[in-house]
C-alpha cells in the first residue's frame, strides 16, 4: 500500500538514504537538494510503501507562474523520485496514482496537475503514462537537462 505524507523532521534521514542511478540525478537532483528547498509555495512530500520510505517529490503551488505551459491555478510536481532499489516494481506508477488521490483530498482547490519529464528519461515517462497522465503535443524546451514532455492530469 502506498501512502503520501508531508515531509516531517523524522523523515529526513530516510530521505537522505534514497539513492538514484547517476544518470537519473541530472533529471531529479539529489536528496540533499530536495531537502534544501524551503519555500512557502513548495510543499515537500514523501512516499511510503507499507512502512518504508521509498521516494519523495515537491509539490509546487506556484508552478503556473514559472512555466507558461501550465494553466493558472494548476499544481506542479517536481523532483518526483523513487529510490533506485525500489524501481522496476510498479511502485512509481502506483505512487503517482496515490498522489492524484492525495491531491483530490488535500489540495481540492486545484483542478489540474502538471509536470515536465525529460525526453531522455523513458522510465519516468512510462511511469507517468501508466499512472494515467496525458502528454501535451508541445514540448518544454527550457529544461536544465534538455527538452521535456509536458504531462498533466485532472485532479478528481
In this predicted model, what pLDDT tens digit does every residue of 51-94 receive, in sequence order?
A: 999 999 999 999 999 999 999 999 999 999 999 999 999 999 99
In this predicted model, what pLDDT tens digit does every residue of 119-143 receive, in sequence order?
A: 999 999 999 999 999 999 999 999 8
What pTM was estimated for this model as a whole?
0.95
pLDDT at 145 over 90: no
Please tell me the distance from the alpha carbon of residue 76 to that of residue 64, in angstroms, as a whole number.
8
Q: CA triplet 131, 16, 118: central angle to 5 degrees?
A: 40
Beta bridge partners of 57: 45
Assigned domain for 14 exists: yes
Location of C-alpha cell 527538452: 147
* DSSP secondary structure code for residue 29 in this structure: -
Number of domains in the chain: 1
Assigned domain for 130 exists: no
Compute the mean pLDDT over every residue in the chain, rounded to the nearest whole number.
96
Share of the chain above pLDDT 70, in %: 100
pLDDT of residue 22: 87
Assigned domain for 42 exists: yes
Assigned domain for 76 exists: yes
Q: What is the rounded average pLDDT of the residues 104-126?
A: 96
Assigned domain for 134 exists: no
Check which CATH number belongs to the domain holding 58 and give it. 3.40.630.30
For 82-142, the DSSP string reads E-GGGTTSSHHHHHHHHHHHHHHHH-TT--EEEEEEETT-HHHHHHHHHTT-EEEEEEE--
pLDDT at 109 over 90: yes
Give the domain extent around 65.
2-110
Amino acid at each position: 500500500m502506498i501512502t503520501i505524507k508531508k515531509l516531517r523532521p523524522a523523515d529526513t534521514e530516510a530521505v537522505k538514504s534514497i539513492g538514484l542511478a547517476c544518470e537519473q540525478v541530472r533529471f531529479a537532483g539529489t536528496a540533499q537538494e530536495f531537502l534544501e528547498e524551503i519555500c512557502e509555495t513548495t510543499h515537500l512530500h514523501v512516499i511510503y510503501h507499507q512502512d518504508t520510505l521509498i521516494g519523495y517529490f515537491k509539490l509546487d503551488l506556484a508552478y503556473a507562474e514559472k512555466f507558461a505551459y501550465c494553466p493558472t491555478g494548476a499544481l506542479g510536481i517536481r523532483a518526483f523520485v523513487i529510490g533506485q532499489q525500489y524501481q522496476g516494481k510498479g511502485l512509481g506508477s502506483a505512487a503517482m496514482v496515490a498522489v492524484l488521490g492525495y491531491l483530490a483530498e488535500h489540495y481540492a482547490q486545484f483542478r489540474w496537475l502538471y509536470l515536465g519529464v525529460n525526453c531522455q528519461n523513458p522510465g519516468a515517462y512510462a511511469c507517468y503514462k501508466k499512472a494515467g497522465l496525458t502528454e501535451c503535443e508541445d514540448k518544454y524546451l527550457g529544461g536544465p537537462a534538455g527538452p521535456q514532455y509536458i504531462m498533466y492530469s485532472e485532479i478528481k
